[in-house]
Amino acid sequence: MLDDELMEDSIDEEENTQQNKYLLFPLGEELYGIPIQTVINIVELQKITAVPDVPGYIKGLINLRGNVLPVIDLRVRFNLSAREYDDRTCIIIVKSKDQSFGLIVDTVAEVQDIPADQIEPPVQVMNKKFNKQYIMGIGKVGDSIRILLDVDKLLDEDDLPSGMKVS
């Protein structure tokens, strides 16, 4: 095989090993998950620079190794009860549609394999706007469920002032 073919096979194998894997994190009493392929890094909570005239769920900007990223507090985004940040609070750095941003979560739990045949579409009785915007599916793990989020829909770029749109 040529070097290019070997590299292609390596990339395909890596994508296959990440398929059906989700980074789980609790918010309140529920466990949420995002596809591991979207996760770039998990970092400690750090100084966030507030930006005026943005929706309340956008806490501001961080400077991560020279890259300026918007940061979303998922508790606020989902209208959950407020919780003070502590030493377990962290920021999950994700990439979506060539846009990197941070998600503030209570803590991270684990990476879990959830086979595609164990994922159902969002329940129809739930708020349709919420379903449409954030949830890509409901993962069944034993007797428990995991709410799987659509990272592409967590940050609505229309909510960002032009100065915050970073690529």
Q: Cβ(42)–Cβ(90) under 8 Å?
A: yes
pLDDT class for 10, splitting at 50, 70, 90? very low
pLDDT of 138-149, one tens digit each? 999 999 999 999
Q: Cβ(43)–Cβ(90) under 8 Å?
A: yes
Q: Cβ(22)–Cβ(33) under 8 Å?
A: yes
Token pair in block for residue 98: 């060539």
Domain boundaries, the chain: 21-117
SS3 152: helix
Residue 167 in this model has a pLDDT that exceeds 50: no
Note the pTM of the prediction, 2 decimals: 0.81
pLDDT of 97-150, one tens digit each? 888 999 999 999 999 999 999 999 887 545 544 445 788 899 999 999 999 999
CATH for 21-117 is: 2.40.50.180
pLDDT at residue number 40: 95
